[in-house]
Amino acid sequence: MKKRSFSRTKKSCYFAYLATASVFSMPPLLFVTFRDMYGISYTLLGTLVLINFCTQLTIDLIFSFFTKYFNIHKTVIAMPLITSAGLFIYALVPSFFPDIAYLGLVVGTVIFSVSAGLCEVLISPIVAAIPSDTPDKDMSLLHSLYAWGVMSVVIISTVFLTVFGRENWMFLTLFFAVIPLFAAYLFATSPMPELNLSHAASTQKTKNAKEKNIGLLLCLGCIFLGSAAENTMSNWISGYMENALNIPKAWGDICGMALFAILLGLGRTLYAKYGKNIVNTLLVSMICAFVCYITAGLSQNVILSFIACVLTGCCTSMLWPGTLIMMEEKLPALGVAAYALMAAGGDFGASVAPQLLGIVVDTVSASDSALNLAETLSLTPEQIGMKAGMLTASLFPFLGMFLLIYIKKYFSKKEIK
């Protein structure tokens, strides 16, 4: 089949990734709303993020071991339909049954997280399987569209909530529930490239199976730490701007989260056009992300903290897609199962880190030490808790720096085929 016959397929993948942005970026924008309207604690709000990514992790692991039992074309068609179903439940249950609002949020999160997991597992290998002269740039462009989707969701959500009020958040969710239906139509009318459905362990027959498996584990660790660094800020930047920096929500979302998403997308788009030497790119990204988290956590200057939070978007932009590019370059001929395993590592990082920050914020805010420190620094205990959470999150890119130094040495000595 000629390469041009997959043009519609590639566009379908791009649109699906764009549409999935609402699943990740809209819930954090509503955290403060849920806390005010339904009395949900930060720990429980962080648990929603944990549920989101743990569900995705489960889907990733299922595909890691049972890929051959799935009809890929039918699965990608069902994927956006599941997204819509989850968002409808997410919006309607709290609206009609406020006494069980959190249960409705949990059920909706589980359902649309299944779709998000399928998206991560299937879209990247589909794009990678489409014949192309620049596969690494196609991968970077794919992930950049997610960031541009986040930016769009943030701007639309902020304008909507400002004009119509937070109490009407459910109508915003229903709007985003309709968009994935178009992705289902696109996939239903697009051909699928031939995918390698073999398990990652199939490398056992190769002469350098041990080196390949070690390399895959190193990439798994890298995407775990990179995803943790990216998703902690993306999930908490809205709340941090509002509660730690005292920036009005509308301005915090547009100038904070939207700028974060813009820089996230810009970093991936620039790499798609000019990028090379992915291992060095990842190492520099980890170093810069660490500096940003430390600055956001320690600085009492609102402007400096704001800039640090926003710049984290650029610094972490390549950590997830870049690890996939590194895997493709250093470990060739891996199938869908390897992508599923990498998605599992990324989702595990994205589930652990935001939840950890939520626990740190609640624990530190309630401590006597935070109360005393808050009086000394003229801050609130909640602000102290938020800053402590940012400092805790800096551990992920910090560890990532050392892992990438080792990865660089490892792959420089090994030629894996």
Q: List the end-to-end C-alpha distance of the chain, in Å, as a whole number.
A: 26
- Look up residue 131 and give its two tokens: 């014949």
- What mean pLDDT comes out for the span 38-65? 80
Lowest mean pLDDT among 55-59, 268-272, 386-390, 411-415: 411-415
* pLDDT tens sequence across 318-341: 999 899 889 988 887 677 778 888
CATH code for position 381: 1.20.1250.20
- Look up residue 306 and give its two tokens: 């704001």
In this prediction, residue 208 carries a pLDDT of 67
* pLDDT tens sequence across 106-149: 999 999 999 988 888 888 888 888 887 777 778 888 888 887 88
Domain count, the chain: 1
- What mean pLDDT comes out for the span 301-328? 92
Residue 204 has pLDDT above 50, yes or no: no
Round the average pLDDT of the chain to a whole number and report it. Answer: 85
- Look up residue 194 and give its two tokens: 């031939």
- What mean pLDDT comes out for the span 293-301? 93
Place of tokens 């459910």: 170
Q: What sign does the dihedral 339-344-347-353 (CA atoms) show? A: negative
- What mean pLDDT comes out for the span 243-268? 82
Residue 258 has pLDDT above 70, yes or no: yes
Domain interval for residue 264:
3-413
The residue with greater pLDDT, 125 or 172, is 172
Query: Residue 284, exposed/middle/buried by CB under 10 A (0-12, 13-18, 19+)?
Result: middle
What is the spatial distance between Cα 337 and Cα 60, in angstroms, rounded to a whole number? 9
Place of tokens 């590194």: 326
What is the spatial distance between Cα 329 and Cα 278, in angstroms, rounded to a whole number? 9
What is the spatial distance between Cα 343 and Cα 53, in angstroms, rounded to a whole number? 10
DSSP string, 15-35: HHHHHHHHHHHHHHHTHHHHH
Residue 153 has pLDDT above 90, yes or no: no
Q: Say what the pTM is.
A: 0.77
Phi and psi angles of residue 276, each rounded to the nearest 5 degrees, phi first: -165, 170
- Look up residue 255 and give its two tokens: 């100038």
CB 1 within 8 A of CB 191: yes
* pLDDT tens sequence across 218-248: 999 999 999 999 989 987 887 888 888 888 8
Which SS3 state, helix, strand or coil, does residue 355 take? helix
- What mean pLDDT comes out for the span 339-355? 84
In this prediction, residue 256 carries a pLDDT of 78
